[in-house]
Structure 1
Amino acid sequence: MKTLKNCRPMGGPATDLHIADGVFVETSPDGAETIDCGGRILIPGLVEAHTHLDKSLLGMPWYRNEVGPRLIDKITNEREVKVSLGLDPQVQSERQAILSVSHGTTQIRSHVDVDTHHGLAGIEGVMETRDKLKDIVDIEIVAFPQSSMMPRPGTVEMMDQALALGADIVGGIDPCGIERDPKGHLDAVFMLAEKHGKPVDIHLHERDALGGFSMEEIIARTRAHGMQGKVTISHAFCLGMMDRAYVADLQAQLAENRIHIITTAPASAPVPAVKELKAAGILTGSGSDGIRDTWGPYGNADMLERAMFIGQRNNLRRDDEVELALDICTYGGAAIMETEGYGLRIGDRADAVLVEGETLAEAVALRAPRKMVLKAGAVTARDGACVVAAP
């Protein structure tokens, strides 16, 4: 039981908020601990809606990256060097999740590789971390066939096993560019979703008209299977193409079928225009993608920094525009993950972060260490450090 004294919910006027039994309540419970928030801004827990917990190299010796430029080069290299590096998906996922918590994240959606080379080792490792850290962060697992399904016999069956084991979402990847079989790939993805009653989250790196074709096929499957509101397209680089009339039509179809978009706002690829997505009524979330892995040396799991990247990539400069970037990294991701009781209202789960700044826009600009992070009312991080030590 706690009373958060002198906090400013979403940058509004200073007030006191009360917590009992893990949720925000109207009045201070007897015996509540009082925490002076010093007039800082309180926001709901940050949401890491797209990352890869099983493959970070955090805490390991520096990896010298000399991988070729193509997507398939990175995929093939990673699959092979996981063995030579001795990467343990449980340890690595725990390290990254703890780093995320230190920056104010309270829930994570992680894509976890399923392939015929490593089997279900990644799924099992991240599931162990999910259980181990369940009191400080919620972890949602996507069974992700990064190495493809159609060209690698046995992968569909492994995806089926991963979902039966406890993965939460059916993943997919470029139906044309990686799978080379859009019909076969999407048949498998939506068959698995229907069989297990799971939502779908598909990586779509394909650009321009090719990506538009794949997106139209995903939309058609969503409609045919009655999965409106249960399908997410991650990256969606094709929405950044030059043909804006075609993009407007795609976005209208996405909105009609309640298909969500998750963007990581990379500097190296076209990106969806988040103001257009908002205007169309398309739920949008964000994530860090890979962090310090064999693909690249960057990333720190800070979703306030990711809000900054969204702002920079979309030329968001006004305060209300920067607030949109933050909303994508909080309420947007939570809505896509269908998080119950998310927010700062009475009855909502007390998952929250104290951030520095006079306004929400300044909090994103400053990205100062988080003064305090709460999960169900319990303190999980103080002054930028998680209460749990990384292995």
Structure 2
Amino acid sequence: MAPFTFNTTPSIRMGAGLIDELGSIAKAICGERVLLVTDPGMMATGIVDRALTALKGAGVAVNVFSDVQADPPESVILAATAAAKDVTGIIGLGGGSSIDVAKLAALLATGHETLKDVYGVGMAKGPRLPLIAVPTTAGTGSEVTPISIVTTGASEKMGVVSPVIIPDLALLDPELTRDLPAHVTAATGVDAMVHAIEAYASASPNNNPVSRALACEALRLMGASLERAVTSPHDMEARADMLLGSLLAGQAFANSPVAAVHALAYPIGGHFKVPHGLSNALVLPHVLRFNAQTAPGAYADLAPIAFPELAGLGVKEAAVGFANELAALSARCGLPENLRGVGITKDDLPLLARDAMNQTRLLVNNPREVTDADALAIYEAAL
């Protein structure tokens, strides 16, 4: 067996209603003065109020930073860091963007590093403040990953990748995902499935048996529950399976990193402000069909796990069937089926392809080499 490293959040707690125990949980980990990092949409729900009631009831003083934006720019990271002055710990409550901002605020608030110091893989050294992640979407898996994504400039994205920013605790309460709009449930769910698929098929030298096992279980859970969660939003079994599947997929790709689907999705989000999960969904089947021409084995392995009706097919047939079923699942969940559906035209494709090819950190993990011409052809197929 090849050597590998596997890092993840040291503690995971899951259960309906756990948000009401956040006070005692946070006090033990984060101390008595915390910063709660969230976004304006979350402030309009009752979830933040429940969190604040629990924290204050346990004698924890709380400051709230609620200015997180989707695909957060550097200015938001720096503002959250400034808000973290004099706190003893940080809680990220919300989707992946809120948790990503909380991770970086916890790191930078100690004053040992600047944001520009920590871009890249392994650049962040710490220390950081104690950190709890409370996801309210079943998508990014950010609660268990060593990754935060930042928008730099107008559309470029950069990553901070370091085990230092893995949270101390992931608190999973499926009740927090119950009132998500159907399109958010769908897009974030496909995002989580992409994490599992790319982790399993990754060409990374750290692709490992633990990540592959987690990816398989994640796809088993999510393949059976995503459509139910979209069409029957109060189906708490489906919500719980999606939340756990997202976490398992996050653990998988945190250690066996993602590849061309994400590389081609990032420019779509950067230039056209398309949510990340939807960006992934739009290119996913086309990247898989491209990869399956030379490396179908991983997708053939996964096909019957996510879609049992694909059992018994040959390797190439199963791989292609897997891509087709994923496209059909996205469509049944109400997501746009092509790039035209989000306002992208043929004239935009060369720009997207150029930007995608800059994502070398991701493309190196793809099971098939992607050239400039390949990237353009994939976008053309997705148009």
State TM-score, norm by structure 1.
0.27
For CA contacts below 8 A with separation 6 or more, give which structure has more relative contact order. 1
Q: Flag the structure with higher strand content.
A: 1
Q: Flag the structure with higher helix content.
A: 2
State TM-score, norm by structure 2.
0.27
